[in-house]
Amino acid sequence: MAEKKKKTIKIQTPKGRPLLNWVGKHPLEHVQGYPTQLIECFDPQSKNHALKTPVYDGLEKNWHNLLFHGDNKEVLATLLELGFRGKIDLVYIDPPFASNKDYVRKVELRGLKDLGRMEEDSESIIQQTMYEDIWKRDEYFQFMYERLILLKELLAETGSIYVHLDYRMVHYLKVLMDEVFGEDNLQNDLIWNYYMGASGTERWGRKHQNILFYSKSNKYQFNLDPVRVPYNPETIARAKRGEARYEVEAEDLEKSGKNPGDVWSDINPVQGNALEKTSYTTQKPETLLERIIKASAESDGLVLDCFVGSGTTCVAAQALGRRWIGVDVNKGAIQVTSKRIQKIIKDQGKNEKYPTFAIYKVNNYDLKILHTEAKELAIQQYGITSTKTDPFFDGTRDSNELVKIIDFNHPLTLLDLQLIVDELNKRPDEDRNVIVICLGRETKVDAWVEEWNKKQPYKDTRTKQRIKQFIIFDLKDKNFVSYEPSKAEVEIKRKGKNKVKIKIKSFISPTIIKRLELEPGLLRKKIPDFRSMIDVVLVDTDYNGEVFRIAYSDVPEKNNDLVKGEYELEIPKKKTKVAVKIIDMLGEEVLVTKKV
């Protein structure tokens, strides 16, 4: 059977001015959508209407919210194919800042506040890299350019986009957005000013971030009344004294409030003890997103965030009764967002306007967490010092060798080695050895390395030491990434005619155990309760083998609380398959099923 030809979607070329130019700049002329796979659904009111393929026409009159796991460029193209062109009312994105550092999710095991902490430091030691914000500038510009073009295609004519940045890239992105959206459509360069942050002695303390607010046209929505803030008490006092410049009564001023302006100093960053706090270091406060959503999305508006991270945009939209779409390539982000949304829907009960959301996969990114974990373990195991200032090499070793870590999605190839050689040729004074860390290698690699090493000149003729020697560390050779999945023993028994009793008898995450053992200076403590390693437990009481429909979720209220581990739930009277999904603290999932 012939493969179905993919539909090509034409994209309008930006025509705005001024222009930002970079090496390799090219507009998107067309894109192609990808198949979507419905993998999970939260439907506490049993509406059972999650669409297998989320086509806009099918959702318009029977909406459920959407969470996509996949690369956002691919997901945005897929949304165009599914009929969402011109349907989005508000886009908020908090993209990478090109900060030249890794952003991590800090993981603490439940019920053990001190486990995973250094004796002299309150920072969590078990850290999981969610994304690397290390870019060559030209690559960053092209990355953002393509996504901004697609977002404009999805925006309604009355729609708006807010892009959250900091001092590193805001000036470049402003010019880039002038090209994509038009210079005249810049409505505000909002300043989020906060009291927290390093002061330092070398410069003025950096205590603000920028949010660029553009509209798609001059017909954009903006509702001031819901976001007005109180007048300064002195202003009210002057009005009460009857000073001539106030043309309204003091009571009216107090009642109406004022425009917050474009410098927001009244919204604090998320504190460590805040109830909304997640494990994301870049998490934005819900009050910030609530202000943006109230102003730029009507009560039934559709909000999109394609860098969803900790899920704050979706959380705020859900709480305010707006429709939403969230996208992230990182599975951990999808899990954190899902967990937060489930809690809101449960808290609001039957009053919830949109009580159902579904998770879709676009392409397969399940291995991303494993590859990230393996890279972190390799860095620890081999004593590598990460180098953030080098755009090519990943770091150095104590013996001063350069280190290059090959993407674990493919084995080391001759092309990878040639790229390293090309980089060394750009550095004529570089004579250090190069350690290449890989997960598997092609058969021709060993012969190539041997030949290369023989051809290099001597560094010291007396010791016969040569320069620029390639040293291959293949993690497969060392059984370094002998990946062991998490394991669970779960007892599932029918009780009476229409109930099931579930008991999690044991759970082990080899990845968590390995991380604890490898971290230097870690407090050596046993884990007295295996539930410390479990983040969330989900149950589908009538699993069809394809879509996991969440009938029950055990999401602990506080970070230090444990999951219950034992459940008694209603099930159909007929024979049914019960599925229990256990998600550990690093985001790995274990699925246990049984017919009862």
215 and 71 in a common domain? yes
Give yes or no: residues 35 and 60 share one domain.
Answer: yes
Identify the helix (H) or strand (E) that includes residue 286.
Answer: helix 286-296
* 137 touches 25 (CB < 8 A): no
Q: What's the pTM value of the predicted model, to 2 decimals?
A: 0.75
Of 152 and 353, more confident: 152
- From CA 324, how far away is CA 297, in angstroms rounded? 11
Q: Are residues 417 and 512 in the same domain?
A: no
pLDDT of residue 539: 96
Residue 58 counted as domain residue: yes
Query: Is 133's pLDDT higher than 50?
Result: no
pLDDT tens digits along 10-21: 999 898 888 899
First to last CA, the chain: 39
The 10s digit of each residue's pLDDT in 347-379 is: 887 777 899 999 999 875 544 445 555 666 677
Is 539 among the domain residues?
A: yes
Sole residue written with tokens 């603000």: 208
| 211 DSSP β-pair partners | 164, 190
Q: Is residue 580 part of a domain?
A: yes
Residues 83 and 153 in one domain: yes
**Same structural domain, 501 and 587:** yes
Under the banding of pLDDT at 50, 70 and 90, the label for residue 126 is low
Whether residue 294 is found in the same domain as residue 430: no
Residue 191 lies in a domain: no
Whether residue 26 lies inside any domain: the answer is yes
Q: Are residues 282 and 317 in the same domain?
A: yes
Residue 83 is assigned to a structural domain of this protein: yes
State residue 332's pLDDT score.
83
Q: What is the DSSP letter of 258?
A: B
Asked if residue 238 is part of any domain, the answer here is: no
* Domain enclosing residue 392, as ranges: 368-474
Same domain, residue pair 91 and 173: yes
Please name which of 276, 146, 301 lies closest in space to residue 221, comparing C-alpha atoms: 301
More confident residue, 503 or 379: 503
* Arithmetic mean of pLDDT, 282-300: 94
- What are the structure tokens assigned to 495, written together? 């009780």
**Rg of the chain, C-alpha, whole Å:** 27
250 vs 247: CA distance, rounded Å: 9
CA dist list (Å): 38 to 54, 67, 199, 318, 359: 9, 10, 47, 20, 6
Within 10 Å of residue 35's Cβ, how many Cβ atoms?
12
Q: Please tell me whether residues 306 and 453 are part of one structural domain.
A: no
Residue 14 lies in a domain: no
Can you give the CATH number for the domain in which 297 is found?
3.40.50.150
Same-domain status, 571 and 535: yes
From residue 40, give the alpha-carbon distance in Å to each of 326, 358, 543: 14, 6, 11
What b/e readout covers 414-430, taking b as 16+ CB neighbours within 10 angstroms?
Answer: eebbeebeebbeeeeee
Identify whether residues 302 and 411 lie together within a single domain. Answer: no
What value does the mean pLDDT of the chain take?
84
**Number of folded domains in the chain?**
3
